[in-house]
Amino acid sequence: MTDQTALQYTEEHEWVRVDGDTLTIGITDYAAEKLGDVVYVDLPAVGSKITAGAVVGEIESTKSVGELFAPVDGEVVEANQAVVDSPELVNSDPFGEGWLIKVAAAGLPKLLSHDEYRALTGE
Amino acid sequence: MTDPGTTETGTIERRSPLDAVHRAAGASFTDFAGWQMPVRYSSDLAEHHAVRTHSGLFDLSHMGEIIVVGPEAALSLDYALAGKLSAIAEGQAKYSLLLDRDGGVIDDLVVYRTGEDRYMVVANAANREVVAKELRDRTSPFETDVFDESDDIALIALQGPDALEVLQQAPGFGMQGPGNDEEDFVTGLERLKYYRAIAAEYEGEPVLVARTGYTGEDGFELYVAPDLAPRLWDALRETGGPRVVPCGLASRDTLRLEAGMPLYGHELSRDILPVQAGLGRVVALTKEGDFVGREAVEQGPAADAPVLVGLAAEGRRAARADYEVYDGEGADAARVGVVTSGALSPTLGHPVAMALVAPDAAEIGRGLFVDVRGTRVAASVVPLPFYKRQA
């Protein structure tokens, strides 16, 4: 069970785990719940450079398409193949096995704390 | 990612008589035509599969029910609607269209003849007011009254291969009229044909039980008083147990898409004639007398007017409503149409879509490309429906 209070968050309903220069990024349970059953995940290639605020991936449910925004400038060092093969992991374990990408970050952006994020979603 | 939450209309939020039941069940809600309706209870895929394999329970209380009654009810509907409603028998239902003068579709409807001089017209929630107004205007020269009874009628649909058995096993039902009992209801259901309805009772209150639906499966739609709806809902769930899964509007949309059924505002609009959506048969051009839209329908659409087709693709990236359709992969390829609905088909496992395309791009087997957010995805024109249940 992931300790959600140890994660940081964005206003685009993504979570970020900071581990030195490496950030692990996923979408929150709130976002997954709003999307419905995720059936397709498109992630950026390992080695690609990403720019904060840019759309770098897509999370599709039967009903709609969610965009994955880069929360930071950096380089993608890992993309979660398990979630590409089994997109339902985004719904079943959004903070754990449903993680999306790992990024070597060029500096840390301003992120929301768990309390700040929960205030945002009203939960 | 951005918040994929639902649109806020700013209008008064309407709630179903089953609202408390849905909230207790932990449903997620969406705004649909000003109504807060369940979009899913837990998993829209599981709900979809439940309807294909066992049965699903839908709250459709947002739909409009408009009663047309009087000695000239049949005659007036022949003038007001595209179909020949005078030709259907008591207890029969008919899919029909409300056309404008230009032959465009104002709404698609299911019309039940519930008496010699009485019909119930079921309209989409978003079109309830305009349908009621048009019916009032169009029937005013006739001995006919029109009553919008939408607020006094709840609608529950039980859809799927187990629907008949569950409804037969549910306690509390009987046929209307003296001397009828549960056994008569069980037999009546068994004999009820598709697009027929019977006047039944639930706990002594009237309920219209129709063998209709919008999922491509066998199933029933139950029109009941709002205060009866929660008890009926709970009874069907209790009777069916795991064979009855409450289903939201997300699964309803993928189910009807697989079944090739049009959705107003997507496949149907005022901008297209019925024949363009493959609904030429719904317009009774052979019926006597005039009806609204007749002249335009007889004239037909322009030779190059788009027609509705099915598209199937490989992979998992779905074409969705409003995505553009091209006749090639390159930047110089011509745009030949637009997707009206699309999803990754839960039953078939590949993307399916309906699209309005130029007639010369509409032949079965034709290879086309859909622009999926900047990527051209190959798709083939295929016959509708995508899914047909085994008889």
Would you call A31 an interface residue with chain B, using a CB distance cutoff of 8 Å?
yes
pLDDT of B29-66, one tens digit each?
999 999 999 999 999 999 999 999 999 999 999 999 99
Residue B4's pLDDT band (cuts 50, 70, 90):
very low
Continuous H helices in A1-123: 29-35, 81-85, 89-92, 114-121
| Residue A122 confidence (pLDDT) | 84
Other CB atoms within a 10 A radius of the CB of residue B331 amount to 7
- The residue type of B245 is V
B7: confidence class by pLDDT, cuts 50, 70, 90: very low
C-beta atoms of A39 and B28 within 8 A: no
A64 → closest Cβ in B4, B254, B317: B4
| For helices B128-139 and B73-80, angle between their N-to-C axes, nearest 10 degrees | 120
Distance CA A113, CA A123 (A): 14
Task: Please work out, in degrees rounded to the nearest 5, the angle formed at the alpha carbon of residue B289 by the alpha carbons of B284 and B293.
Answer: 60
> What is the mean pLDDT of the segment spanning B279-288?
94
* Percent of chain B clearing pLDDT 90 (strictly above): 93
Region of residue B339 (left: phi > 0; alpha: psi -120 to 50; beta: else): beta
- Residue B138 is given by DSSP the state H
Q: Is the pLDDT of residue B6 over 80?
A: no
| Contact between chains at B318 and A33 (C-beta distance less than 8 A) | no
**Is the predicted pLDDT of residue B334 greater than 70, yes or no?**
yes
Does residue B136 register a pLDDT over 50? yes
Is A35 an interface residue toward B (CB < 8 Å)? yes
Q: B177: buried, middle or exposed (CB in 10 Å: 19+, 13-18, 0-12)? A: exposed
Given a cut of 50, whether residue A49 has pLDDT beyond it is yes
pLDDT in tens, B13-24: 899 999 999 999
- Strands B245-247, B335-344: pairing is unpaired
Q: What is the pLDDT of residues B97-107, one digit of tens each?
A: 999 999 999 99
Q: How far is A68 from chain B (nearest CA, A)?
A: 5
Domains of chain A from N-terminus onward: 4-121 (2.40.50.100)
pLDDT at residue B8, rounded to an integer: 47
Chain segment B223-252, per-residue pLDDT in tens: 999 999 999 999 999 999 999 999 999 999
Q: What does the pLDDT read at residue B5?
A: 40
**Residue B228: both structure tokens together:** 């009866």
The mean predicted confidence, pLDDT, of chain B is 95
How does strand B245-247 pair with strand B56-59?
Answer: parallel
Quote the percentage of chain B above a pLDDT of 70: 96
pLDDT at residue A95 tops 80: yes
Alpha carbons B288 and B292: distance in angstroms, whole number: 13
CA angle (B240 as vertex; B235, B241 as ends), nearest 5: 100
Please, what is the end-to-end C-alpha distance for chain B in angstroms? 44
Which chain B residues touch A31 with a CB distance below 8 Å? 1, 3-4
Q: Does the CB of B390 have a partner CB in chain A at under 8 Å?
A: no
Please state at what angle helix B44-53 crosses helix B249-258, rounded to 10 degrees: 50
Nearest CA in chain B to A63: B250
Does B14 touch chain A if contact means CB atoms closer than 8 Å?
A: no
Give the residue from B231, B192, B228, B226 showing the smallest Cα distance to B212: B192
Average pLDDT over residues B283-291: 93
Angle CA B367–B370–B376, to nearest 5: 95
CA atoms within 13 A on the CB side of B88: 28
pLDDT at position A123? 66
DSSP for A101-112 reads: EEEEESS----B
Could you give the 3-state DSSP secondary structure of residue B339? strand
CB-based contact, B373 to chain A, within 8 Å: yes
Cis peptide before B385 (omega within 30 of 0): yes
Query: Is residue B12 pLDDT above 80, yes or no?
Result: no
Contacts of B213 (CB under 8 A, 6+ apart): B157, B159, B219, B220, B221
The shortest C-alpha distance from B320 to chain A (Å) reads 9
Report the phi/psi class of residue B182: left, alpha or beta, with left for phi > 0 and alpha for psi in -120 to 50.
alpha
The pTM (predicted TM-score) of the whole model is: 0.93
> At residue A99, does pLDDT exceed 60?
yes
- Would you state the pLDDT for residue B346? 97
Segment A117-121 shows an average pLDDT of: 93
pLDDT for res B9: 47
**B11 has pLDDT over 90:** no
Distances (CA, A) of B181 to A66, B176, B204, B208, B234: 53, 9, 11, 16, 21
Interface check for A68 against chain B (CB to CB < 8 A): the answer is yes
> Cβ contact (<8 Å) for A63 and B344?
no
Residue B225 CB partners (closer than 8 Å, separation 6+): B152, B153, B154, B205, B206
pLDDT digits (tens, 9 = 90+) for B244-267: 999 999 999 999 999 999 999 999
CB A7 within 8 A of CB A114: yes
Question: Is A64's Cβ below 8 Å from some Cβ in B?
Answer: yes
What is the reported pLDDT for A63? Answer: 87
A39 to chain B, any CB pair closer than 8 A? The answer is yes
By C-alpha distance, the chain A residue nearest B253 is A63
Q: How far apart are CA A100 and CA A56, in angstroms?
A: 11
- Average of per-residue pLDDT across A60-88: 95
- What is the band of B79 on the pLDDT scale with cuts at 50, 70, 90? very high
Q: Least CA distance to A25: which residue of chain B?
A: B1
**Nearest CA to CA, how far is A62 from chain B (Å)?**
6
The DSSP code for B222 is: E
- Average pLDDT taken over every residue of chain A: 94
Tokens of B257: 């898409």
| B266 in reach of chain A (CB within 8 A) | no
